[in-house]
Amino acid sequence: MANPLSEYTRKRNFKVTAEPEGGSAHGRTSPETLQFVIQKHDARRLHYDFRLELDGTLKSWAVPKGPSYDPKEKRLAVHVEDHPIEYGTFEGSIPEGEYGGGDVIVWDRGVWIPHGDAAKDYAAGKLKFELQGEKLNGSWTLVRTRLHGNGNKEQWLLIKEKDDTARPHDTYDVTDALPDSVLSEKTLPQLGKARAKPDKPVNAAKTKQTRTPKLKTAKPSPKPSALPDMIEAELATLVDAPPAGDWLYEIKFDGYRLLTRIDEGKVSFITRNGKDWTHRLPEQAKAISALSLENGWLDGEIIVLDEKGVSDFQALQNAFDSGRNTTILYYLFDMPFCNGMDLRAYPLEERRRALKAVLDKIDSEVIRYSEAFDVPADRILESACSIGLEGVIGKRAGSPYQSKRSNDWIKLKCKRRQEFVIGGYTSPQGARSHFGALLIGLHDEKGSLRFAGKIGTGFSRESLAALHEQMQPYVTEKPAFTNLPRGAQARGVTWLKPELLCEVAFASITNDGVVRQGVFYGLRQDKSAHDIELEHAQTVPDKDSAIVPKKASPQKAKDGIEIAGVRISHPERVIDPHSKTTKRGIAEYYERIAPWILPHLKNRPVALVRTPEGIKGEQIFQKHKQTLAIPHIRELDASLDPGHAPLMVIDNLEALLGAAQMGTVELHTWNAKADHIDKPDRMIFDLDPDPKLPWKSMLEATELLLTLLDELGFKAFIKTSGGKGLHIVVPLERRHDWDNVKDVAQAIAQHMASVIPERFSAKMGAQNRVGKVFIDYLRNREGATTVSAYSLRARPGLGVSVPIDRSELKTLKQGDQWTVETLFERLDDPWAGYNTVRQRITAAQRKKLGME
């Protein structure tokens, strides 16, 4: 039998194109969900590739105008060769000169449900089906015509059926309304036209004016190379103190990172998330075009300076809003590519020297070179902080340019520090006790106390309890702020008389007087609350005006390193090749996340997922303490789990790092605490979707289950799983036994599956969740565990299980939206009031579920 992918394979050179080769096609041997994908393809002409999974391949049609929700719009669909299943997630550039050369994004994806026998209907030339996608839904038809196009290709028509999802084209064009990828932040055109790999070396010095600046290096001269379609920026890692070694330091600008692509004189400005901003910066583009570069990539940051010569992020936003882009300065600090030469592997100093040589040839008011300072980092940071700058960037001497967050680039941020008036506090959130955050304020010029933000970090368990007790005599019903906080910041607030002071370190204060990145440092009793207003930086600062944390860097230990006093062996071992995270990186993550994750682990039996050789190796699920000793971990009384080795608990940072030392990536916890292990204090629903379902179906399923829980009277909280799904957590009073809680969870799952059987399943097994979401209620059995909030997941990219607010569901894009690399940009605690919830399973609830 002929291989249906032979034509696909014949047309492609897989040594050149990044498209997947795909395995041999095979028919389905058991019922499963059929996926569809629509790829937006910017080739010779922009078109949409419509693909349906059938008999082991993706049957494919090129739709020039794309799909339409209007049944009157019969869209031409040219039948093309079958594609491999793996093609369904392909995004990227196909080199020019190759078949289909151009850029590709996944515009839509989901599942399709045939209305009849799909194989027979396809052969007959008339397919009727339903789509369940992120963008396309409802009933559609593909019908073959008698006409043939170029190469005798069959011409079909893609037609929207008349149903509730149909919409007139003149009122809604789905391709215009929703133009971007459903898998990433990519859009088209974004990557620029893909270039063919040259058969011969590129002539990188056609004229005297386009000559590449000479690199003074002992390495061989860089070899000619094609201009990359896209270069991702190298990102800096936040550190607590300047490291040892040879570093170059630059000012940390408070603006927007911007990469520049120059191709035959055409200038394109690309943001970090791939947006093209060339049209927003015409003066800057004109200045760049005056450089003696035929092609290249430049890296820098756009800023606006205030009257003191300091970059002002608010002023930059105002410049864009008002259209005054001539005030925007573009500071350049690196040049990864220049006139046909790939410089990324060359030392930092050589790239910067070449960049400066290029910039010295123009006289521009809007393009500037970011100077580096060859002086100690603490002196630069002190100076930067004294004049109100955000901080400094350090770059390791001799380092290459890497398109990722790198330890070769570091950032040291300034922290301003002063007293604030305490005007109230919020209810505790998550596993925190006593209170959640302080509401602080400052007096303005008229003496009125104005709200200046919330401070929720910098507390220990002891300080939370002590401060809560100290605040009680000042509780009042009337707020002291003249401008009250709004929205989420005003929920669950206990107001205080404005008489207590706290000292706070912070990064900056916004134009509306709210602190950014505030950290509590303690109460102050030596000043009057009535005298507290914003302190302004002086020309000659005192020694405390710049806060440089003195936290020690990990110290070398025998055969490893030490982090927070815990020895980590083989720190260089790569645990996740996808993110290049090492064992040291895992330990440093858990050290940094400890204040957030430890309250969720406190006094709960824990199970570990250990990956001693990395996530691609053996994964060991360990619930009990065994012969392998885990440093600092606490073992429970063996009588709590008869017949097994002792259960384990992680109560402190040392135990958390001890688990990391033994190769732990994931931390799973029981639904009960050790002191009442027979009485669960929560009920958990793990929503596990068919992997082919669109994410929209996952969100809809979550909302439906939350609606049922609302009707039953349960207050519920949500967190991402760090994988493909979501977890719904229902806190309970410790009154019910395991069987009671499991039976109620099962009844809820079965109710959803019986009422909406096309969406939900309450039975385990992949065969039972085809096109559905499985509600896993078995997490509520005695001894069962669920991944802890803020735990990493042992999957490519190291996703994190993250608590979210219910209002965030609409903007959530996937279950592993936050990873080891991105979590700390988002940290907050949205589970307001979790510890104050008092609810139990009632007879009325059981009756509603048909249990009585």
In the structure, how many helices (H) and strands (E) does the chain have? Answer: 13, 44
418, 535 in Cβ contact below 8 A? yes
CA dihedral 737, 806, 760, 712 (to 10 degrees): 50
- Alpha-carbon gap, residue 62 to 10, rounded angstroms: 19
Torsions phi, psi of 466, nearest 5? Answer: -65, -45
CB atoms within 10 A of CB 444: 14
**Angle value at C-alpha 511, between 510 and 516, nearest 5 degrees:** 5
Amino acid in the structure at residue 139: S
CB atoms within 10 A of CB 29: 7
Sign of CA dihedral 165, 166, 172, 176: positive
Strand, helix or coil for residue 811: helix
User: CA–CA separation, 635 vs 179, rounded Å?
Assistant: 54
Q: Which of 182, 186, 210 is nearest to 270 (CA)?
A: 186
CA 298 to chain centre: 25
Q: Which two tokens stand for residue 629?
A: 């000793």
583 in catalytic set: no
Residue pair 148/166 in contact (Cβ under 8 Å)? The answer is no
Question: Are the C-beta atoms of residues 631 and 566 closer than 8 Å to each other?
Answer: yes
Separation CA 87–CA 95 (nearest Å): 16
Q: Strand 405-413 and strand 235-238: pairing?
A: parallel
d(CA 563, CA 436): 29
Beta-carbon neighbour count of residue 229 at 10 Å? Answer: 18
Catalytic residue among 160, 186, 252, 679: 252
The answer for 398, left when phi > 0, alpha when psi is -120 to 50, beta otherwise, is left
Strands 508-509 and 515-516 turn out to be antiparallel
- Bond prior to 189 in cis (omega within 30° of 0): yes
Rounded CA separation 769/767 (Å): 6
- Catalytic residue IDs: 252
